[in-house]
Amino acid sequence: MRPPLGCIPSAPHPAAPKVKDWVAAEEGGDPIGLHGYYPPVDYRGLVEPTAISDLGNLQFGDCVLAAIFHHLQFWTESERKKGLPIAEVLPKTSEALIAYKQVNPAFNPFDGSGDDGCEPLDAFKLAMSKGFVAGGQYHILAGFAEIEPEDLAGLKYAIQNGCGVVSVMNLPAVWEGEIESWKVEVQDWPANPLAGESAPASWGPHAVYTVGHGPEGFLVNSWGSWVKLSAEAMLAYGQRHYFLVWDSLQKIGELDAIRLRQDIIRLREGLLQS
């Protein structure tokens, strides 16, 4: 089976906060206020930590929206475990496809026409300005921060403190026939050099939800399946990662996130000007 991709990589946005700056600030004694708030999934020995749907991405190129909705599902699950009055969110495929059409108006879910994918940045802008319906509830994205592909420390920080991230992966063609084995196998460092079927993006760009990390590397969800990627594979094929902050965080008074809030305000102002 050759599932669709559908991610159009976004260029870095000048107004977007960088997670590496938050890490540096905390190391310098300026806490961002998120440390340990959303603990990562410890996936050692686990293949499927929770039920999760492909949200239509096995048929259509809505991987960006699927990854965003998966993050929202885990974010609210983490908040509920802390005893916060947050309703459970179980996104539906129809909701993900509606959101995909909002971002890509040319898409027709009935005949599949216009299924050309979308940029993460366009999806984030819409989620911040108008929001999405997921699990029968309305959700607004408060903001996001960017993580450069070589910044594995920032990626781990975001997973540990942001309940996972949305990752854009430049998939190699050699992985096209490996989708089913991803559920149980770790994708190791590819054959060197990274050329031919091992070249980044030789298959194409794809958005996934990265939810955990451990000694074996990283745990991501792709097309509804759990995939373990080695750190080397993440460095080779990770194009950019996004730390997402949902509006429910703004309502939690006990969380000291002044720096985070300031960065989100600047982000919103910058997006409105772009």
Tell me how far apart the alpha carbons of residues 265 and 4 are, in angstroms, rounded to a whole number.
35
Q: How confident is the model at residue 227 (pLDDT cuts 50, 70, 90)?
A: confident
Tell me how far apart the alpha carbons of residues 25 and 123 are, in angstroms, rounded to a whole number.
28
Q: Which of 4-8, 233-237, 267-271 has the lowest mean pLDDT?
A: 267-271
Residue 62 lies in a domain: yes
Q: What is the average per-residue pLDDT within 163-176?
A: 88
98 burial type by CB count under 10 A (0-12 exposed, 13-18 middle, 19+ buried): middle
Residue 10 lies in a domain: no
Q: What is the average per-residue pLDDT within 192-217?
A: 84
Please answer whether residues 71 and 164 qualify as being in contact, where contact means their C-beta atoms are separated by less than 8 angstroms. Answer: yes
Q: How confident is the model at residue 255 (pLDDT cuts 50, 70, 90)?
A: very low
Instruction: Using alpha carbons only, give the angle 180, 163, 260 rounded to the nearest 5 degrees.
Output: 145
pLDDT tens per residue across span 106-132: 999 999 999 999 999 999 999 999 999
Q: What is the CATH number of the domain that holds 212?
A: 3.90.70.10
Q: What is the average per-residue pLDDT within 139-147?
A: 90
Residue 4 lies in a domain: no
Residue 108 lies in a domain: yes
Q: What is the average per-residue pLDDT within 137-165?
A: 88
Please answer whether residues 107 and 203 qualify as being in contact, where contact means their C-beta atoms are separated by less than 8 angstroms. Answer: no
- Show the domain range for 151: 19-273
Nearest to 68 by CA among 18, 151, 136, 125: 125
Residue 98 lies in a domain: yes
Residue 14 lies in a domain: no
Residues 6+ apart with CB under 8 A from 254: none
**Residue-level pLDDT at 228:** 81
| Predicted TM-score (pTM) of this structure | 0.88
Please answer whether residues 61 and 207 qualify as being in contact, where contact means their C-beta atoms are separated by less than 8 angstroms. Answer: no
Residue 2 lies in a domain: no
Residue 76 lies in a domain: yes
Q: How confident is the model at residue 159 (pLDDT cuts 50, 70, 90)?
A: confident
Classify the phi-psi angles of 62: left when phi > 0, otherwise alpha if psi is within -120 to 50, otherwise beta: alpha
Residues 6+ apart with CB under 8 A from 129: none
- How many domains would you assign to the chain? 1
Q: How confident is the model at residue 76 (pLDDT cuts 50, 70, 90)?
A: confident
